[in-house]
Amino acid sequence: MNGNRRRFLVVTGAAVAAAALPFSTRAQDKVKIGIIGSGKVGSALGAVWVKAGHEVMFSSRHIEHDQALAADLGAGARAGTPREAAAFGDVVVVSVPYGALPEVGEDLAGLMKGKVVIDTCNPFPNRDGEIANWAREKGAGLASAELMPGTRIVRAFNAIGARRMGSAYQEPGRIGMPIAGDDAEAMAVASRLIREIGYEPVLIGGLAMGKYLMPGTPLAGERSAEEIREIAAGLD
């Protein structure tokens, strides 16, 4: 599948999922959300947050993709550069290949400083190279914090697949969302956004526990909130 076709399917799928959301009320307080990396995960999450009443700016290395996505989603959605999205968002969602995180930190950390940053990134050695091995050894949560200094990181959306990420609204609260972070206020902000799109957030601990929020760990896959709590209780 070529790049243009892939981007078209991501845009179309995200827009269709958002259009089907049965939100009966708009969010009481709009949040400006900047998406850094509008691939499958970033597009799906941004789309449902737009439908929930928030303002979302999509960004990636393919501005035409972001413009098409924003046009399909309508009011509340816009497109920009990564720097514009980082400046725009009160909350910033970083959803890029882990190998790109050093560049994100170098280019955008100043714009994201002090902001809640939802880190969806996972380190895969076969894709990301040596930095993935380093992040896995250190723990992905602590590694991301080092790469994006001064931000208030919450790891979330790492342990489930992207395919159904925008569809949790169909059965609100059925699927738990394990999250990790060291900042209580940031966790509260992220939890609200997570709950508004159908997941039940479950805090499993600080960023040191972020090493478990990725494929191949006991917390991977879709589980109920209670199942997540039971599994997390046995982790160190």
pLDDT reading at 180 higher than 80: yes
Range of the domain at 94: 3-233
- Round to the nearest angstrom and report the end-to-end CA distance of the chain: 41
8 A C-beta contact, residue 141 and residue 155: yes
- Structure tokens belonging to residue 232: 């997390």
Question: Which pLDDT tens digit goes with each residue over 85-129?
Answer: 999 999 999 999 999 999 999 999 899 999 999 999 999 999 999
Q: Say how many domains are in the chain.
A: 1
Strands of 77-79's sheet, edge to edge?
A: 77-79, 55-59, 32-36, 91-94, 116-119, 152-155, 176-181, 200-205
pLDDT for the residue 28: 58
CATH number, domain with residue 31: 3.40.50.720
Question: DSSP readout, the chain?
Answer: --HHHHHHHHHHHHHHHHHT---SS--SS--EEEEE--SHHHHHHHHHHHHTT-EEEEE-S-HHHHHHHHHHH-TTEEE--HHHHHHH-SEEEE-S-GGGHHHHHHHHHHHHTTSEEEE-----HHHHTHHHHHHHHH-HHHHHHHHSTT-EEEE-S-SS-STTGGGGGGSTTSSEEEEEES-HHHHHHHHHHHHHTT-EEEEEESGGGGGGSSTTSTT-S---HHHHHHHHHT--
pLDDT for the residue 16: 40
pLDDT reading at 55 higher than 50: yes
What value does the mean pLDDT of the chain take?
88
**Beta 152-155 vs 176-181: how paired, if at all?**
antiparallel
Q: Which of residues 73 and 17 earns the better pLDDT score? A: 73
Question: Which pLDDT tens digit goes with each residue over 5-50?
Answer: 444 334 434 444 444 443 333 445 899 999 999 999 999 999 999 9
Question: Which pLDDT tens digit goes with each residue over 137-179?
Answer: 999 999 999 999 999 999 999 988 877 787 887 788 899 999 9
